[in-house]
Amino acid sequence: MVSQFYSQQTVGVEERELAFRFRETTHNIVSALAVLEKEGRASRTRLAGYWTLRVQHQNNNQEVSTSHEDQPRI
């Protein structure tokens, strides 16, 4: 997957969806989002359970692989 982000781009996320995808409790996700909120990188929306994340600019385009096929074999 190749991603390219531009400065000040925002992304909407849902606490329960993040918890499901990261296989974490909703409490842990909310705690992490609260830390990002203190850093000014996330903010709560008017809808309960929904947040806005501010994505920072990446200086270079890097390919991000989520496949285990690209991992070195031991």
| Residue 68 DSSP label | G
Q: How confident is the model at residue 1 (pLDDT cuts 50, 70, 90)?
A: very low
- Residues 14-60 have pLDDT tens digits of 999 999 999 999 999 999 999 999 999 999 999 999 999 988 766 65
Q: How far apart are CA 58 and CA 51, in angstroms?
A: 21
Q: What are phi and psi of 40, to 5 degrees?
A: 80, 15
CATH number, position 19 = 1.10.10
Residue 72 covered by a domain: no
The whole-number pLDDT of residue 64 equals: 53
Provide the number of structural domains found in the chain.
1
Its domain, for residue 41, covers 9-57
Q: How far apart are CA 46 and CA 25, in angstroms?
A: 22
Residue 69 covered by a domain: no
Helix (H/G/I), strand (E/B), else coil: 10: strand
**Are 23 and 33 in contact, with CB atoms under 8 Å apart?**
no
Q: How confident is the model at residue 2 (pLDDT cuts 50, 70, 90)?
A: very low
